[in-house]
Every structure is written in structure tokens, then in C-alpha cells.
Amino acid sequence: MNNRFLTKTNLKLLQITDLHLFASNDKRIFGIDSNNRFKQVITHIKQHELHDTDAIILTGDLSQDETRESYQHILMAFKEFKIPVYWIPGNHDNLLLMQSVFASSSILQYKRVLNCKYWHFIFLNTAIPSQGVGYLNEEELFIITEEIKKLEEPKKIALIMHHHPAYINTPLMDQYGLKNQSQFWQKLINSPVQLIICGHVHGHYSFEYQNITIECAPATCFQIKKGAIDLKIENLIGYKCHIFKDKTYQSVPVLWAAN
């Protein structure tokens, strides 16, 4: 596995999120074959992205049924990859089960910190078992504070988390955002945090809040119509590409109609 990207000036990270996989390929979420759509996304990435991608980040809701078999689908999908795949849990996931299944892989890693040349990435766990909303407990908030303190040279920080920490103006999903937003944002006052990367919302969003850019990625299984109060599904699938050049970055959504 290639970790040389940690010292590179330019980085390309692919964000895959909200897979909602089942143990059985016969199961459906809102009538949608999420297992098959995940396979479509992986095939697309192999054909179009993998040649110059440095790492992949999986930002939660990898499973829908919290089964060992659903995580084994992910294990199989990435088994031939030569780049690291960093993951965090979402509200539909079982952290202990994920750690157990992915322990056999050198590719799939549960990292809390990734220290690159110009950027410092911090991975946070916002998931609360059996709840749709997110929450950063004291341990997670402490990680933010400590990592900011530990930086010995000026670097920009990117936080990677499942739940969105600011409203996206899609009421259906905003009711399931980060519960302790004010506590979270208090930690970021005068900090070098420049970017927050999220999943959860089933759609591409890019906006600024308190001078920090928030990038939410499209889901692999389906998108939720922007502004929706009730469930309105868009049959698009995809991922997000984050390109870091020196101390700048560009985030590009990749979306297409599902087969």
C-alpha cells in the first residue's frame, strides 16, 4: 500500500459516502438496490479516477442493516486497491463490528489523524447508536483541541465527519444534523480549520459558515432533493473529488444517472 502521498505537495482524495449496504443483494432501501449502485460507483472509480488518486475516504453510513456481511462487501470491493481507504462510522453503522471486519485489511483504516505536508486531516466520530442525529462527545471535541495545539508548524486543518455541523436548508436532513453545533463551533474560533468534509445529507453541498468551507458529498445510492421537507429521491449516484494543491483545494462532485 502506498502512503507516500503524505509528503506530496498535491493530493487527490476521493470521498465515498452513504452506501447503505445490506448483507443480502436482494434487499432494497426505498426500492433501490444500494448494493448494486455501490458496485457501479467502484467500477467508475477504477476506470476513471484510480490512476491518480492518493487515498479514499468513506464518510459513514456504510451499512444499512449493521451486519457483518454488509461490511464484508466493502472489504471485497477494495481488496485489490493499492491506496489507503480511511473510514468513519455514520448513524447506520456499528463501529465495533466495522473494526472487527476491517481488521483483516491493510487497506481499510480507522485513522483519527492524517498529517500531510500542508494539510492536517482530523477524522471525527459523530455517530450515536440508534439515532439519526449526530453528536460530538467530550472525547471527540478534545481531539480537535489537542490536534490544533500539537501542530508545530503552520498548516491548514480539514475535519472529516459524517453529520453536517450547519444547516443546509433541506429540512428533511437538517433535523438529523449535528446536535451540539454551538459547542462544536466554539472550538473552532480562531483555529486553522479551513475545511469540513461531511456525508449524511445525500447530496452535493458547498458553502461557507463562520469563514470555514463545508463540503457535503453525494451518496453512492441516491440523492435527496435539495430543500425537501419529505423524502424526495433523485436517482443519481456518485462521489466527491477533493484536490489539494499546496495550501489551496478544489472539491468537485461527480454525479450521473443510476442504471
Q: Which amino acid is at 29?
A: I
Secondary structure class of 126 (helix, strand, coil): coil
**pLDDT of the residue at 231:** 97
Predicted pLDDT of residue 1: 58
Q: Are strands 119-123 and 156-160 parallel, antiparallel or unpaired?
A: parallel
In tens, the pLDDT along 48-102 reads 999 999 999 999 999 999 999 999 999 999 999 999 999 999 999 999 999 999 9
Per-residue model confidence (pLDDT) at position 4: 73
| Nearest-angstrom CA–CA distance, 137 and 28 | 33
CB atoms within 10 A of CB 119: 20
Segment holding 139, helix H or strand E: helix 138-150
**How many CB atoms sit inside 10 A of residue 130's CB?**
8
Report the topology of domain 9-257. Answer: Purple Acid Phosphatase; chain A, domain 2 (3.60.21)
Burial of 10: CB neighbours in 10 Å, binned 0-12, 13-18, 19+: middle
The reported pLDDT for the residue numbered 131 is 92
Q: What are the φ/ψ torsions at residue 180 (nearest 5 degrees)?
A: -100, 60
pLDDT reported for residue 130: 83
Closest C-alpha among 209, 223, 135 to residue 167 = 209
Give the count of beta carbons closer than 10 Å to the beta carbon of residue 97.
Answer: 16
pLDDT at residue 154, as a whole number: 82
Mark the ranges of the chain whose per-residue pLDDT is less than 50.
none
pLDDT for position 2: 60
Grid coordinates belonging to 250: 478544489
Strand partners, 206: 215
User: Where are the strands (E) in the chain, listed by range?
Assistant: 10-16, 55-59, 85-88, 108-109, 113-115, 119-123, 156-160, 193-198, 205-209, 212-216, 223-224, 233-234, 236-245, 248-257
Residue-level pLDDT at 9: 84
